[in-house]
Amino acid sequence: MRFQGKRAVVTGGASGIGKATALRLVGEGAEVWIGDIDEAGGRDLAETSNGRIHFVRTDVTQAADIEALMTTADAHVVFNNAGGGGSRSPIQEISPDDWDRTQSLLLRSVALGIRYAAPLMIARGEGGAIVNTASIAALQTGAAPTAYSAAKAGVLHLTTMAAADLARYDIRVNAVCPGFITTNIFTATLGIDGEKRDMANGAIRKMAAQAQPLQRAGRAEDIAAAVAYLASDDASFVTGTHITVDGGMTIGPRHSW
Ligand code: NAD
């Protein structure tokens, strides 16, 4: 029960990694506010949570929405996680608008999440914990397209800089770098839903198992466990860094010797 008496915000909490993390934090005693554009998913989750999860309709590309979410929750723990695939164009073809949309969804959203959460934590005077979702795409090529990967690399350095800005207030800022985690992000990016989505996710799980030395697809719960650690007092001396949770993918291919 590491989050007993704590309030937490999870953006992108209606699905995937955010949903698993919201449930994990609630399981450890927190009261959670999820901010998401998926109203049906967000409200469903809130309704089945015995009043422990609240839904605030939030578009993380909109500064006013993020500010309202942070003000409503006045949280001790913030998980800036909402996201999607972004532009799939190579750099020589990407349009300026596509570039901006991807950075707005994946990088500006995290900067503004910190921007609006931190003053409330500072005013409370009890420190705080912020965790941001980056990606293995921040660490290597080949994991995701260019605009997405650049945004996620930005999230990593933003995490380090924000940790330096906020350390004097005992506010810790860390990131998590998920590997290949089977959520709906891939099918959502490709516009696949319904029955086809389950089939596609099955195929993606198989591909992921082959790509990762630990030989299984990652689960949203694998990331939630790392986020819960970074957000908890167990990590009270950890700031400005990231945990990679990728089944070993970034250490390279499986070896046969
Ligand atoms: P997901 O599609 O299951 O969940 C993403 C959530 O974000 C959804 O609930 C969606 O409605 C919400 N969202 C999208 N745009 C939003 C917006 N403008 N405002 C508010 N909410 C919005 O995907 P996921 O895999 O759980 O993704 C969560 C995070 O993890 C993302 O930042 C993603 O880039 C990152 N990530 C995922 C993987 C992976 O393999 N699944 C790997 C590395 C990083």
- Per-residue pLDDT, 208: 81
Strand pairing category for 31-36 and 53-57: parallel
C-beta of 149 in contact with ligand 1 (< 6 A):
no
Determine how many CB atoms are found less than 10 A away from the CB of residue 161: 14
The residue contributing the CA closest to ligand 1 atom 6 is: 12
pTM above 0.90, yes or no: yes
pLDDT tens digits for 236-251? 999 999 999 999 999 8
Convert the pLDDT of each residue in 157-170 to its tens digit: 999 999 999 999 99
Contacts of 76 (CB under 8 A, 6+ apart): 6, 7, 8, 121, 124, 126, 128, 129
**Ligand 1 centroid, distance to 136 Cα (angstroms):** 14
- Asked if residue 12 has its Cβ within 6 Å of ligand 1, the reply is yes
> What's the pLDDT at 3?
98
Q: What is the pairing mode between strands 77-80 and 128-133?
A: parallel
Q: What's the whole-number average pLDDT of the chain?
A: 95
Pick the more confident residue, 211 or 230. 230
**Residue closest to 56 by CA, chosen among 80, 73, 75:** 73
Pick the residue with more confidence: 184 or 1?
A: 1
User: How much is the pLDDT for 255?
Assistant: 64
Q: Are 173 and 111 in contact (CB under 8 A)?
A: no
Q: What's the mean pLDDT in 202-220?
A: 87
Strand order in the sheet with 53-57: 53-57, 31-36, 7-11, 77-80, 128-133, 171-178, 242-245
pLDDT, tens digit, 9 for 90 and up, residues 167-181? 999 999 999 999 999
The C-alpha angle 152, 218, 222, rounded to 5 degrees, equals 85
Which stretch of DSSP H or E encloses residue 244?
A: strand 242-245
Tally of residues, the chain: 257
Per-residue confidence (pLDDT) for residue 43, from 0 to 100: 98
